[in-house]
A and B are shown apart, each in its own frame.
Chain A
């Protein structure tokens, strides 16, 4: 028994030391860190994926009774779909190698055919010197947004999306840099995660923004607060806004905002009775302005409300938020895929 305790102690001390080293070196806790896939596994995955796709395009029709269809038509159907995911992305169960295809018709995992919307940029609001809002209990917006963003990444990657994080640690990043990172990665949608602060501290609620003009003084002030670190002059902003408001992606952004807001409110209402659906709104946030894809800014909770702040101390509630955001993105991507073209 004493030996068991000593063994447990040694094991726990090892983990504790590692946790502290991670803290000193600014690494994320192990649970939240992106899993590295060994090179050998990645190479094998790529090989199997290629063979799977090859098999899907060429062999599967003949084995499923579609042999009469011209091979070119089958190939073009496959080719019309978006390119396969990077082999470095976390692997879903892959289709069996051709040996299986020659023995029996095996359904191909849908994951090998990527969704029309597959690259999601997740932006954890604030970071570094920009702490965002804060509440008692030591809660600061920049930490919470990062925690939620990392959870969303995990969920979306499990669904075979490629996820780009604008930041993975506590570091400063300008609003322009965030948008540019998403543009460079050719993200299909951009989701910026923030926490609200409302003067009436009894208010608790969620709201989702897309880029657009507003006459609401509260929203103007909120946008001014969030845009403070943008580095853009008022003249720059007017030019950018004129360009963007005429853009077709404003409609897509609005649709994305509606789907995400519905998912957030629908899911969180159960865990947070009294939650207010503050709706989908248009406001001129710079971080949305600099992106070239449908983009939204979700205020997923109110740090100014004591009960909400308390809920945010609970990992389970942060997980609910992440799940709702991921579900919203999934739903938007699904409807885009259904429409058979990129975007809605």
Chain B
């Protein structure tokens, strides 16, 4: 097991180096002055320019620049925002909020996937129409762009009905973030739902299910104990994978609901035209995504006894 984990981590190393290098190259290997480009239409003051050039070591050869930048990522020294706070401080304050939101969304996604996938799978033969309608609903919800879905919820439930706060703001409690998390879950549950449905349909023809019925067990026991438990593994790993994906892509959700998480700080940096800060945040989010994906791979090996870790 330990050997497997080590080997997996070693395999991930090139990907980690590659992704950070890619982002760095996107910014600093472009033709022209990268620091000026980061400011876009704004005209930076000379002091800012100087400090940025110093921070990114632009006087050194490119590969040395990259290695120093990598050192910054690993040691947590990601430079400062234009207002002078260090990027790692900002992240430290914002990350727990994002994690909270994403945990809630992933749990909801998991429940939706399991419940709806189960219903669809069990009814796939007896009432194919229910199965079909379930799939269509999930597909429609999945194709609604996230920000459209967010506005819809914000307008109908927040403004018109007043059942939920319209924006979250500084008060990022579980309750205030319930609605945004639910909307996220509704737009992504289709994948998990299909996995669940597929394994439930398959497991109904498995020998152990037929045996269970043959020895006289009622569906009320066969379904939860024999079918559900054996169908959960792919759904669990899918939800774990969506955790990583969501951490990296809550920007729109947090911007719309004004949730003070990492995505929102990225959005604010975009709005203020703070190119260097945007790059730092994107780097952190990408690294988080890569690391979480590795963990999901490991989780898969732990959960599924059929996978041997050699």
The answer to whether A and B assemble together is no
Q: Which residues of A contact B (CB under 8 A)?
A: none
Q: Which residues of B contact A (CB under 8 A)?
A: none
